[in-house]
Amino acid sequence: MSHYAKIENGFVVQVIVSEQDFIDTQSGIWVQTSYNTHGGQHILGGSPLRKNFAGVGMVYDSTRDAFYTPQPYPSWTLHEETCGWKSPAPLPSDASDDKQYTWNEDTTSWIEVT
């Protein structure tokens, strides 16, 4: 059994566990995804599949053959290796469970949450 994502208009609308034979009988576009693939890496050491495990609402980019979340802010860019989004400024090094930051798109910087 494998995981499959149903794609409509470039977005994941459903993820199921199924046999390929069942998927072959379904209408629409279904793309296999791997529960163990995150950020372009297979967490168990296997071959990564489509950069990230698909989730409802994620983008399926057929050109990159990859799943990723929608762009969170206009200033953020897609990292090609991981298909994760990168802010133009790094998260402050003192970020922790006790000191949290949020992104401010107007200033394109991180601000501390108080």
What residue type is assigned to position 33 of the chain?
A: T
Q: Are 34 and 48 in contact (CB under 8 A)?
A: yes
Shared domain for 31 and 65, answered yes or no, is yes
**Count: domains in the chain:** 2
What pLDDT, in 10s, does the model give residues 34-83?
999 999 999 999 999 999 999 999 999 999 999 999 999 999 999 999 99
pTM of full prediction above 0.85: yes
Q: Which helix (H) or strand (E) holds 11?
A: strand 11-18
Above pLDDT 90, what percent of the chain? 99
Domain that residue 31 falls in: 1-70
Dig out the tokens for 78 from the structure.
Answer: 């897609």
Shared domain for 34 and 53, answered yes or no, is yes
Would you give the distance in Å from CA 103 to the centre of its chain? 19
Shared domain for 66 and 94, answered yes or no, is no
Shared domain for 38 and 51, answered yes or no, is yes
Q: Which helix (H) or strand (E) holds 3?
A: strand 2-8
